[in-house]
Amino acid sequence: MQPFAEAAAQQCPYCGEEVEVAVDPIGVASETYIEDCPVCCRPWTVRVSRDEEGFTVNLGRDDD
């Protein structure tokens, strides 16, 4: 049975709004993908790192 995604509260690097990013707590050690902000629609670079303690999420500007 697959676990459900967990929500990670983050701040949009463009508009500054607090947003929730859905993250699967189980997966590869690190991954990077592009996702659009649900508020301002600008693209983020989402970086997820996982270890035995849990996961961390960082949002970056796509134009960085």
For residue 44, being part of any structural domain is answered with yes
pLDDT at 3: 57
For residue 6, being part of any structural domain is answered with no
For residue 43, being part of any structural domain is answered with yes
Q: What is the pTM of this model?
A: 0.83
Give the integer Cα–Cα distance in Å for 34 and 47: 9
Query: What range defines the domain where residue 58 resides?
Result: 26-63
Q: What is the pLDDT along the chain (64 residues), one digit of tens a residue?
A: 455 789 999 999 999 999 999 998 888 999 999 999 999 999 999 999 999 889 999 999 977 6
For residue 40, being part of any structural domain is answered with yes
For residue 38, being part of any structural domain is answered with yes
pLDDT at 37: 96
Q: Domain count of the chain?
A: 1
For residue 5, being part of any structural domain is answered with no
For residue 59, being part of any structural domain is answered with yes
Cross-strand partners of 47: 32, 58
